[in-house]
Amino acid sequence: MVTTVIAGAVRERRPGKRRVALVPEANSRLGAAGIHVLVEEGTGVAAGFSDEDRESAGAEVVPGANLVERAHIVLCVGPARSRRDARPAPPAEPSRPGRGGPVRASSRTASTCCRAR
């Protein structure tokens, strides 16, 4: 059985910051690769990307709490400040084909992928 991967991008929460974890062009590319993209409402507005831009690029715009519940991977600009921001959870220990052993998230991975199921 093939499962569609769902990636979600949360908005920047630090005051005055305009960065985004995913631009609309990347939404299109991920969608073309078979990844369903969720984007938190208002993500990128300060950087000039509207929710309509996101939807036009193939992303589904959703409330933050809904995104965290549905996404397999949550993308963010920096590490989540708290469990409330992105509810990080430890990975489910998937294995890497041909390499043996579980996949381990590094601190660099954790800064872009705040949660994996």
Residue 53's pLDDT is what? 93
Query: 6-116: CATH homologous superfamily?
Result: NAD(P)-binding Rossmann-like Domain (3.40.50.720)
Q: Can you give the pLDDT at residue 59?
A: 94
pLDDT for 57 equals: 93
d(C-alpha 96, C-alpha 23), whole Å:
28
Predicted local distance difference test score (pLDDT) of residue 14:
81
What is the mean pLDDT, run by run of 10 residues, along the chain of 117 residues? 87 84 91 94 90 94 91 83 48 44 40 41
- 75 contacts: CB under 8 Å, gap ≥ 6: 7, 8, 9, 10, 21, 22, 112, 113, 114
Domain ranges of the chain: 6-116
Amino acid 12: pLDDT: 84
